[in-house]
A and B are shown apart, each in its own frame.
Chain A
Amino acid sequence: MPFERNYRPDQPSWLMRIGAFGGLVFMHVPVFIIILYAFTTEDRTYRFPPPGLTLHWFEKAFARADIWSSLSLSLAVAACATAIAMVLGTLAAFALARAKFRAKDSLTVLFVLPIALPGIVTGIALLAAMKFVDLEPSFVTIVMGHATFCTVIVYNNVIARLRRLPANWVEASMDLGAHGLQTLRYVLLPQVATAFLAGGMLAFALSFDEIIVTIFTAGKERTLPIWFFNELFRPRDRPITNVVAVIVIAVTLVPILLAYYFTRPDDEHETAR
């Protein structure tokens, strides 16, 4: 092997550094641009750079009744879907984490199918089912769709945590005289609580922002993403749209950061979908 003065196996090459930091910048630029545009004084084109900055559009957006009603609908849907998902996802995770039975593999596939298949399949399937049973699109149908894929998020988070719990903890607890509920209360729940909360937070963020399935199940209801979607195709109030974009970023940012906080320090990647 030729002697290399620069040989440093623990140091990344410059090419890798540039690739890594360049990639990170690439992922963040569009979000910063949107935030910048919410303050632009220009209201007709997407001219860059913006000619001036103003807070005027925030004032206008907050005075709009349709935005408030869409926002509260989205929050209500997200809250209901998350509540259902946290129950169903946790139950499924507790059932499948350790048990061994014949149908286990098929069930594992079933519980991740809603995010493995494209959203449009879930959407059109729900619509087809609604037509079959003559169910009118409403708040309930939106929640049904959202709860389905939100369950997967909670399930993934909780089961990842359960799988890393040493199996003999439960037995130790039982040997020491605890009954099932005590074991759950003092051994399992403290370990799973943060993964459970993180799953809920991510489910909330996902539901609040969901559009692909919602379009099929919403009928005449207008969640905030649907309001936004309509604006994309028939732009009437560009500056208001920019402001709503910033509101959406802000509302989803809080649960995401909380979810990250709950699953620190060594298991960051566990919060992936």
Chain B
Amino acid sequence: MSVRAASTFFYRRPNWYLALLLVPPLLWFGTVYLGSLFALLAQSFYRIDDFTAQIVREPTLATYQQVVTQRANIDIVLRTLTMAIAVTIACAIIALPIATYMARYARGRMKAFFYVGVMLPMWTSYLVKVYAWRLLLAKEGIIAWVAGKLGLLGLLEAALETPGIGGPSLSSSYIGMFIVFVYMWLPFMILPMAAALERVPGSLLQASADLGARPAQTFRNVVLPLAVPGIAAGSVFTFSLTLGDYIIPSVVGAPGYFIGMMVYVQQGTAGNIPLAAAFSVVPIVLIFAYLSIAKRFGAFDAL
């Protein structure tokens, strides 16, 4: 069969053409990825025998029961959820001026400068950034040094003495962890937000101005509502990334466990794969719940 005949054959039969394209990626995703997810799900219905510490391969809900009834485990889930929500809100607030400036005001070289300026730290090594924050937050580190120079050490200490979120130093407190999370996921919020703002037609802003709105009013009543899908899309990343992370909570450590750390410890040193699997189902459920909320705000149109 000639190339022409073959191409005509597939052009006339789009389903065959589609199948030809889809089979390799579907085979990969079906076996490697979905297969793994099902293996994970299966493991979560096993349990560990308390005496022999062996995995008992009989379907049971005992492991899930452990996750949802034990006080310590519930605390882990709530702590992680609170952090994810706080980080998402903070990212949205900090990203707003940056995204608005780069999408609506910066032109030409300045615009390119901003886009590269956001992309570079986003793609810079995750571990290197975490490591950098360890240097910044350390007791004799740069933040303490700058605070000392500015005479703000008292303020820093007062913040660290706040019960619940404080600690002996920034590098071992929830405040420090919060700062690192916000830093790490900020670009993931900025880019979708800027993309949504880029799509706001300039004529709308002129119309708003013609109708007598001041810039601040235009921003609040016209630009911001149109940026909502972008914010929703970005928040999917900030929320999901915070929920699953285990490296930041272990490096910038406060005493309490997070979901990701629990999964990591349970599969590793504790050797309790069923509990690790059941715990990792928690962020999956939370994220699907979050996705269904984000979808209503148009997150998928802005992705």
Q: Which residues of B contact A167 (CB under 8 A)?
A: none
Distance between Cα atoms of A16 and B63 in the complex (Å): 50
Tell yes or no: B173 within 8 A of A by CB: no
* CA gap between A24 and B194 in the complex, in Å: 14
- A interface, over-half SS: helix
Measured CA separation A147–B29 after assembly (Å): 10
Are B215 and A128 touching (Cβ within 8 A)?
A: no
Stretch at the interface among A53-61, A187-195, A244-252: A244-252
Interface string of A200-221 (1 = CB under 8 A from B): 0010011001011001100000
The interface centre, meaning the residue of A30, A31, A47, A117 with most chain B CB atoms within 10 A of its CB, is A30
Residue interface bits A27-59, CB-to-B below 8 A is 1, else 0: 111110110010000000111110000000000
Q: A121 contacts B119, CB within 8 Å?
A: no
Q: What are the residues of chain B within 8 A of A233 when measuring CB–CB?
A: 250-251
Q: Determine if A129 and B35 form an interchain contact, defined as CB atoms under 8 angstroms apart.
A: yes
A57 to chain B minimum Cβ distance, whole angstroms, is 15
In the complex formed, the residue of A with least CB distance to B250 is A233
Tell me if B140 is interfacial: C-beta within 8 Å of chain A.
yes
Instruction: List A contacts of B26 (CB < 8 A).
Output: 107
Q: Is A63 part of the contact surface with B, judged by Cβ < 8 Å?
A: no
- Please, how many angstroms separate the alpha-carbon atoms of A48 and B141 in the complex? 6
**Bound Cα distance A23, B264 (Å):** 33
Contact for A48 among B145, B183, B247, B250, CB less than 8 A: B145
Q: Across the interface, which residues of A come within 8 angstroms of B260, CB to CB?
A: 118, 120
Chain B contact residues: over half helix, strand or loop, or mixed? helix
* Interface flag for A157 (CB, 8 Å): no
Q: Mark B125-169, 1 if CB is under 8 A from A, else 0.
A: 111111111111010111001000000000000000000000000
B contacts, CB < 8 Å to A = 3-4, 6-8, 10-11, 14-15, 18, 21-22, 24-26, 28-29, 32-37, 39-40, 42-43, 94-98, 100-102, 104-105, 111-112, 114-121, 123-136, 138, 140-142, 145, 183, 186-188, 190-192, 194-195, 198, 205-206, 209, 212, 214-216, 218, 236-237, 240-241, 243-247, 250-251, 260, 263-264, 267, 273, 276-277, 280, 283-284, 287, 291, 303
In the complex, the 9 A-B pairs of residues with the closest C-beta atoms, listed nearest first: A118-B244, A180-B7, A19-B97, A20-B101, A30-B132, A125-B36, A95-B21, A129-B39, A129-B36
23 CB < 8 A contacts A-B: A9-B205, A9-B206, A12-B104, A16-B97, A18-B97, A19-B98, A24-B98, A28-B121, A31-B129, A33-B142, A49-B145, A88-B28, A101-B15, A101-B18, A118-B240, A128-B273, A147-B28, A148-B28, A179-B4, A232-B134, A256-B120, A256-B123, A269-B191
